[in-house]
A and B are shown apart, each in its own frame.
Chain A
Amino acid sequence: MEEATLNNNILAKLSDKFGEKVTAVSEPYGLLSFATTKDVIVNVLSFLKNELKFNFLTDITAVHYPGKDHGIAVVYHLNNMVEKVRIRIKVFISEQNPTIPTATTVWKGANWMERETYDLFGVRFEGHPDLRRILNMDDLGVHPMLKQYPLEDPNRVDKKDEFFGR
Chain B
Amino acid sequence: MNHNHPVFTDNDPQSELVTLNLGPTHPATHGVFQNVLQLDGERIVSGVSTIGYIHRAFEKIAEHRPFYQITPLTDRLNYCSSPINNMGWHMTVEKLLNIQMPKRVDYLRVIIMELSRISDHIICNTIIGQDTGATTTFLYLFQFREHIYEIFEEVCGARLTTNIGRIGGFERDFNEIAFAKINKFLKEFPVALKEFENLLSRNRIFIDRTAGVAEVTKETALEYSWTGPLLRATGVDYDVRVSDPYSSYQDFDFEVPVGTSGDIYDRYLVRNEEMWQSVRIIEQAVEKLKSEPKGIFHADVPEFYLPPKQEVYNNMEALIYHFKIVMGEIDAPKAEVYHAVEGGNGELGFYLINDGGRTPYRLHFRRPSFVNYQMFAPMSEGMLLSDAIINMSSMNIIAGELDA
Contacts and interface: CB of A to CB of B under 8 A. Distances in A.
Interface in A90-148: 107-113, 116, 120, 129-130, 132-138, 144-145
Given A58-B225, A59-B351, A31 B338 contact: yes
A144 B364 contact: no
Contacts of A132: 4
B337 A29 contact: yes
B389 interface: no
A37 interface: no
B55 A109 contact: no
Q: How large is the interface on B (under 10, 10 to 19, 20 to 34, 35 or more residues)?
A: 35 or more
Given A64-B362, A136-B52, 5 more contacts: A56-B225, A59-B366, A109-B226, A151-B61, A151-B63
Interface string B110-128: 0000000000000000000
Interface stretch (B37-45, B236-244, B313-321): B236-244
A28 B352 CA distance: 12
Given A29-B335, A77-B349, A108-B224, A61 B364 contact: yes
Given A61-B364, A109-B374, A112-B374, A136 B55 contact: yes
Contacts of B224: 107-109
Q: State the 10 A-B residue pairs at the shortest beta-carbon distance, nearest first.
A: A109-B225, A135-B52, A112-B374, A109-B224, A135-B55, A59-B366, A61-B364, A130-B3, A63-B362, A108-B223
Most A Cβ at <10 Å: residue of B63, B64, B224: B224
B71 to A, nearest CB: 18
Contact of A81 (B238, B338, B361, B374): B238
Interface string B207-226: 00000000000000011111
A75 B223 contact: no
Given A61-B351, A109-B225, A134 B52 contact: yes
Interface string B45-69: 0000001100101011101100000
Contacts of A77: 338, 349, 351, 366
Contact of A57 (B55, B60, B225): B225
A107 B223 contact: yes
Interface string B354-398: 000000011010100011011000000000000000000000000
Interface string A54-91: 01111101011000000000010100010010101000
B92 to A, nearest CB: 10
B329 interface: no
Contacts of A108: 223-224
A144 B366 contact: no
A64 to B, nearest CB: 8
Nearest to B402: A135
B225 A151 contact: no
A57 B95 CA distance: 22
A7 interface: no
B99 to A, nearest CB: 13
B171 interface: no
Interface in A34-65: 55-59, 61, 63-64
Contacts of A55: 222
B303 interface: no
Contacts of A134: 51-52
Nearest to B333: A28
Contacts of A64: 362
Contacts of B60: 144-145, 151
B403 interface: yes
Interface string B145-186: 000000000000000000000000000000000000000000
B36 interface: no
A93 to B, nearest CB: 16
Contact of A130 (B4, B243, B362, B404): B4
A130 B2 CA distance: 9
Nearest to B243: A84
A58 B347 contact: yes
Nearest to A138: B6
Given A28-B337, A58-B347, A129 B225 contact: no
Contacts of B351: 59, 61, 75, 77
Nearest to A116: B370
Given A108-B224, A109-B225, A130-B4, A33 B370 contact: no
Nearest to B57: A144
A58 B59 contact: no
A77 B349 CA distance: 10
Nearest to B347: A58
Given A58-B366, A59-B364, A84 B244 contact: yes
A84 B245 CA distance: 11
